[in-house]
Amino acid sequence: MKKRTTSDDSQLMRLQKYLSQCGVTSRRHAEEMIRDGKVQVNGVTIREMGTKVDPKTVVVKVNGNQVHLPDVLLYLAMYKPRWMVTTLYDPQNRPSVADLIKDLPLRVYPVGRLDFESEGLLLLTNDGELANKIMHPRYHLKKVYRVEWEGKPTQQQIDKFMDETFLDGKKVKPYSVKMVKEFSHSVVFEIVLMEGLYRQIRRMSEKVNLKVIQLKRIAIGEISLGGMAAGQYRHLDDRELAYLRSVAGKKSS
């Protein structure tokens, strides 16, 4: 937990950066929201890029709802259980990670996502600026997964899985793939990705006719799931937070 200092607040801030630090969205998406007339500053709808605000005095609303810079910054690691959505609100009323953090005094947001069927490490924070930076592909955070495939994959299937392929119009390729366990009717592989596209491992598996039985994310960069049980969360320690800030190019003050 880190107390936000007032030294940064004494300077004017670009509106899209303010929205990002409030945890509303990324800077790029904030620009789209501004152009679409969804953002009001002191009661006036703003559509121009480059607008600057004083974080200490400004009143900013997005779609009519006021947003605020958090006074206290929280950084959490969670073991997201299987059959739970990553989003804080689900129109289908499925179980959500929001149900696991009701005891927190402040609202935090997931950094990235894990699909409904998958489990494992999820980061959450109310530091929108840091979250949006580490989610960007250019920061190359390795994501480590354990996937259990049904049956015994052939070497040809593994080779094809490791080859470059296209998902959502983007070229993707696993950083590394290695077998870690073998059972009578299935096998477990450790897969390291750099991209982390939506359902990436499941979709890559489908391409080579491999059926996923279980998929768990065990690490994001140098932050690991450790001994947490499904549904548990913990605050990041100083070393982990310093690591994330170094990756994002921010000083770990």
Active site amino acids? 115
Q: Which amino acid is at 94?
A: R
Q: What angle do CA 81, 227, 3 make, to 5 degrees?
A: 85
Please identify which residue in the block is written with the tokens 């070497």. 155
d(CA 28, CA 196): 19
Q: Which conformational region is residue 221 in: left (phi greater than 0), alpha (psi within -120 to 50 degrees), or beta? A: left
Q: Which two tokens stand for residue 167?
A: 């998902």
Per DSSP, 29 falls in state H
Spacing of C-alpha 52 from chain mean position: 27
Please identify which residue in the block is written with the tokens 């969804």. 38
